[in-house]
Amino acid sequence: MKSTSPIPSQAPFDHQAIRDQFPALKQTIGDHHLCYLDTAATSQKPQAVIDAMNEYYQLNNANVHRAAHQLSTRATQQYEAVRQQVAHFINASKSQEIIFTHGTTESINMVAYGLTPQFTPNDIILIDTAAHHANIVPWQELAKRSGATIKPIPLTADAQLDIKAYEQLLQAKPKLVALCHVSNALGTVNPINDLIAMAKNAGALTLVDGAQAVAHLDVDVQNTDCDFYVFSGHKMYGPTGVGILYGRFEQLNTLTPMLTGGEMIKTVSFDRTEYGELPNRLEAGTPAIAEVIGLGAAISFLHGLPREHIHAHEQKLMQYLQAQLLNLGDVSLYGIANDKRQINVGSVAFNLAGEHHQDVGILLDQQAIAVRCGHHCAMPLMNELNLAGCCRASIGIYTNKHDIDQFIQALNTVKELLL
């Protein structure tokens, strides 16, 4: 099957050629061209990803690791090649440190469950107040099972992680620190390398939720030096239903498997079962084969892009988006650093005057503007900001200036209607 080729990295930067790779963006809704500003919820998929998954189902559909026939051999080779791709993508030291899951949520649950025997009632877990619920609830369940205590890491007035408060909390020698790399609700970026180094000095295990980071930032887990790093395929132009749990080999090897059964075993009898080696030990059952192959196609697509140009393009768009929202008036932005030391990554959170975020979202949708409205699976953060919820506009590699202008024009129409 012929696949749409990614843009060669040595070619001049042609943003329209990149955008043309995404068929969903070519549609109209009613009388309006689709303006997709909900990439933080899920990214659109390039044709190369769609083609790769179709090719698997049409030509190579077989289970992996379990048969001698050629279809299974081809499927297994493709599947395991993606493990190597992911390891290279985040600079893991070995492919056995890459565990395929169904997404970020399952990855964190797998770690939280697997660490349970290592926790006692005397242990403390620190969690970023801006964390997604998926990086809160699994640790609460671990605390219920073990008796450990959870303590949130406070934020500053401009919704950045409070470093001084973090330093004080680390004095209690927590067992684990759970952080987000980039806030899914606000787009704020944590200084992960510094935060991880501080946690390690305190003797803590560390897990980083990178779901919102991997599509926008270059991730190097060896440089970051975290124990676990997790993310989802569908937020980085790959399919839904596949995610990654990276862990240091020695840490992954200590996890109690959350799922047991086929594939993850070495020997089974009615007397006892011996588990297999990593990564199989943590991958029970038939995996999401097509989705893993689609993830591999997404990584290949990203590697074929001029990354420096993409980073610059996204940052320029974020600056433009923030400026246009402020120029519109009657708009509140959240999580924008007062000292402007950084531009947020991927997302801008806002509300229109005192209007309900859901009303704003519905009226934008009537003009084919897709944004997310609500608490963004970050209710503790919303409580910290004294908000019931907010709107979020988020960009991707396909977003262009026209999208921002179309969005601002539509939001101005909403403003005129409601205010």
Q: Which residues are catalytic?
A: 377
Q: How far apart are CA 155 and CA 112, in angstroms?
A: 24
Phi, psi of 351 (to 5 degrees): -135, 150
Beta strands, E only, 154-310: 176-180, 205-209, 228-232, 243-247, 265-268, 273-275
Peptide bond just before 279 cis, omega within 30 deg = yes
d(CA 403, CA 396): 11
Q: What is the DSSP letter of 95?
A: G
Structure-token pair, residue 331:
């708009």
For 298-330, b/e burial (b = at least 16 CB within 10 A) is bbbbbebbbeebbeebbeebbeebbebbeeeee
DSSP string of 182-214? B-TTT--B--HHHHHHHHHHTT-EEEEE-TTTT
> What is the C-alpha separation between 281 and 202, in angstroms, rounded?
30
Classify the phi-psi angles of 216: left when phi > 0, otherwise alpha if psi is within -120 to 50, otherwise beta: alpha
Shortest CA distance to 348 belongs to which of 404, 308, 307, 309? 404
DSSP lists the bridge partners of residue 231 as 244
